[in-house]
Structures are given as C-alpha cells and as structure tokens.
Amino acid sequence: MSETTTIATWIVLDSPDEASEYPSVGADSSKPEFQLVYWRCIALFFLSARIHNPEHALLLYCNRRVAEVAPPRIAALLAELGVAEVTLPLTHRLPPEAAARWGNVFYEIDILRHYAEAGGPPSLLLADSDCLWRRPFAPFEARLRAEQCLLYTLRPADQKAYQGDVLINGMSRRRMAATAETLFGRGPAGEMPFQGGEFSAFTLGWCRRALPLAERLWELARTEAELPDAIRTEEHLWSIIAVALGVRPYGANDIVRRIWTNFDAANAKPEDLDLTLWHLPSEKKFGFRRMWHAIEAGDRPPLALSPDEFNAMTRRFMGVPQRGPRKVALDLAAKLRERLALAAGLGRVA
Ligand SMILES: [Mn+2]
C-alpha cells in the first residue's frame, strides 16, 4: 500500500439516453468523437502524472471496463504507466431537465462513497482529466496531511459575474451560503468562497466526514431539480461542504489554476510556469489533441521523455504563458474546420 497520495481522475461513458452537453467539448456526450476527446486528455493527464510523480499510485474511475471502451493505444499506455482502475457505476445523475449540461459531474459522489467505504490509500487527489502535471506533488503531501482537504478557490477575477445573486453555473453564492447554514449550521465567515471542481485532495478521514454531507446535498439537489437557483454541479457541492467542514479557502491555489488559453478569454501568465498542475479547459480539442498525436507519432516511447522535455512540450502545445504563432494558426484552422463541419451538418463534435 502506497503511503503517498493516490492521483486519480475519472471518465463516465454516457449511453445515448444519458447524454448531455459539455460546453467546451460538444453537444452529445454519448458520441465516440466526444468520448475520444476525453480519452486523449486522460492519456496525457496520466503520462504527465507519471513523468513527474514516479512513485505515486495512479487511478482511473470509470463506469465501464477500460479495456472495453478506451482506444487500444490509450488502454495500452495506461497499463504501461501502471494506472489502476476502479469500475464504478454512476448512480448520482440529475434528471435531464435539470442537467442539460455536465450531466456526469455528480460521479464524484460515487467516487467519495467508494473511497470512504473501500478505504485504501491515506489520501486521494481527484483532478479533471483536462489537467496536466508540470511538477511533483510531493512538496504538498505534508500540507495535505495537516489540513486534510485542499481545494482550489476561484478568485473573483477568475470568475465572471461574482456577485452573490448571480448564478454561477446554476447556483448563486448567496444560496450556497444559506444552504451551508441551514443544513449544517455553519455559513461562511465573509463572502462565500467558490471552489473549482477541477481539483480536490483529501485524506480518507476527511472523506468519511464529508460523505454524509455530500449525500444530504444530493437529496436536496434532486428535490430542487426544477428550481432556478439550486445545486447543479460538483462545484456547488464542494463549495458548501468546504464551508460546513471549515476547509480553508485557497488551500490549493499555489498548486493548480484554471487557465484559459482560448481566443476571447485568455488569461495565461508567466507565473503559471511555477504551478504544479495546469487545468486547461479550452485545450481539450486543440492542445491535448495535437500533443497526443505528436506523442503517438513520436519515435521515442512516451516514458523516455524527461520532465523538462515533457514540460517544454506542454508549454508549446497548450500555449502557456502565450500561444506561439504556429499554435495560433493551427487553432484557427481547427476552429474553422469545426465550423465548416457543423455548417455542413456532419454533426461532428463541436
Ligand atoms: Mn476541466
């Protein structure tokens, strides 16, 4: 049993009747092209995790057997990297009327429950698959043991419309604060912090304390599925639980950042080069796709890349801190191809 944190991500393969829209990927999450976008992210997530964290256990949660659903080359890479697999059905899904977007994200409750019940590693780090490792996690192990839970808190500058009444992906911060207060007797000291769902790291003990709260919030989310200002995503869950259990805001903000690299909202900056983990939501179909193809076509085995070589690639392919002219041209061409395909009614991933 590893004494270090297990590094995990997840993927849910939706069937056509379960499909929903994911704004930065496409309109139908049951399509193979949609799912391939995520498999490439998973390949690079774990490859970067392994290159920077040779001793850490790696784990993928999936609702199907990886060997049956992953593209064969990606399944082979995951095996070579030593990525373990937990096959876990998705049992927390809001009705389609309430979750036209991001229908899968309450899978994190299934993961919390599985980890709380099955036990195992002393701590779990759960990240979105569209994240890339740039440095080792080891320097933060002691902080995680001391604080029990580290979360990434969005700063007002990182989040459009940050006033209390404004819905952030379907729920206002005012309502999140009131929910924490009403259900768990503890509201925020000042402004309600908004926790990004892309990163959470917690100990087994913390997970066992958080699980009943998550289940209670899930009940509420289901009852309020028709309300305009209610729990819609895992970020609302994390934000409320964090306040209820007194998790310090900004605990992981020097580890990870949500970096926008796309046309109108780019906010990458030189300091991002110091981070341990990059979350790159707008690169799923651009940087991740091209970098995976480059690695697949490369003449060296992926694990032969040194951490520095790998970081040079992620910097170039993801355009952090800025996009080079070649990436700008390729991104524009890819966007244009996508528009043309849509216009032609080919129904490709948008
Ligand atoms: Mn993401």
**Residue 138 alpha carbon to ligand 1 centre in Å:** 23
CA of 202 to the centre of ligand 1 (A): 19
**Average of per-residue pLDDT across 239-260:** 97
- Give the per-residue pLDDT at 99: 64
Cα–Cα distances (Å) from 180 to 81, 116, 133, 218, 296, in that order, read: 40, 22, 33, 13, 47
Q: 284 alpha carbon to ligand 1 midpoint, in Å?
A: 9
d(CA 278, ligand 1 centre) in Å: 10
pLDDT the model gives residue 350: 42
Tokens of 182: 């009403």
3-class DSSP string for 32-72? HHHHHHHHHHHHHHHHHHHHHCCCCCEEEEECCCHHHHCCH
Q: What is the mean pLDDT of residues 86-105?
A: 83
Compute the distance between CA of residue 131 and CA of residue 45 in angstroms, rounded to an integer. Answer: 6
Q: How far does the centroid of ligand 1 lie from the alpha carbon of residue 279, in Å? A: 6
pLDDT of residue 199: 98
Reported as a single tens digit per residue, the pLDDT across 170-188 is 999 999 999 999 999 999 9
Q: What is the pLDDT of residue 192?
A: 94
- Cα–ligand 1 centroid distance for 185 (angstroms): 31
**Lookup result for tokens 């899978």:** 107
Does residue 347 register a pLDDT over 70?
A: no
Q: Which structure tokens are listed for 342?
A: 């849509």
Between 301 and 33, name the one with better pLDDT: 301
CA of 281 to the centre of ligand 1 (A): 5
Beta strands in the chain (DSSP E): 6-11, 58-62, 83-87, 123-127, 131-133, 149-154, 167-168, 171-172, 194-203, 256-258, 277-279
Question: How far away, in angstroms, is 127 Cα from ligand 1 center?
Answer: 8
pLDDT by residue (tens digit) across 192-208?
999 999 999 999 999 99
CB 268 within 8 A of CB 322: yes
The pLDDT, as a whole number, for residue 160 is 65
End-to-end CA distance of the chain: 42
Domain range list for the chain: 6-343
Distance 191 CA to ligand 1 centre (A): 25
pLDDT score at 174: 95
What pLDDT is recorded for position 34? Answer: 87
CA of 126 to the centre of ligand 1 (A): 12
Average pLDDT over residues 71-100: 91
Q: What is the pLDDT of residue 223?
A: 93
Domain 6-343 in CATH 3.30.420.80: no
Question: Ligand 1 center to residue 128 CA distance, Å?
Answer: 5
Is 266 strand, coil or helix? coil
Residue 348 has pLDDT above 70, yes or no: no
Q: Tell me the CA–centroid distance for residue 198 and ligand 1, in Å.
A: 6
Nearest to 129 by CA among 54, 51, 38: 38
In this structure, what DSSP letter does residue 158 have? G
Give Cα separations from 120 to 13, 57, 103, 188, 199 (angstroms).
25, 11, 28, 32, 20
Rounded mean pLDDT, 239-257 = 98
Q: What percent of the chain has pLDDT over 90?
A: 78
Q: 97: helix, coil or strand?
A: coil
Q: Are β-strands 194-203 and 149-154 bridged in parallel, bridged antiparallel, or unpaired?
A: antiparallel
Q: pLDDT per residue over 25-74, tens digit each?
A: 776 788 888 899 999 999 999 999 999 999 999 999 999 999 999 999 99
Query: Which DSSP state fits 101?
Result: B
pLDDT-derived band at 1 (thresholds 50, 70, 90) equals very low
Residues 212-227 have pLDDT tens digits of: 999 999 999 999 988 9
Beta bridge partners of 123: 203
CA of 130 to the centre of ligand 1 (A): 5
What local confidence, expressed as pLDDT, does residue 16 receive? 79
Decide: 281 and 183 in contact? Cβ < 8 Å.
no
* Confidence class for position 301, pLDDT limits 50, 70, 90: very high
How many angstroms separate the CA atoms of 259 and 277, rounded?
10
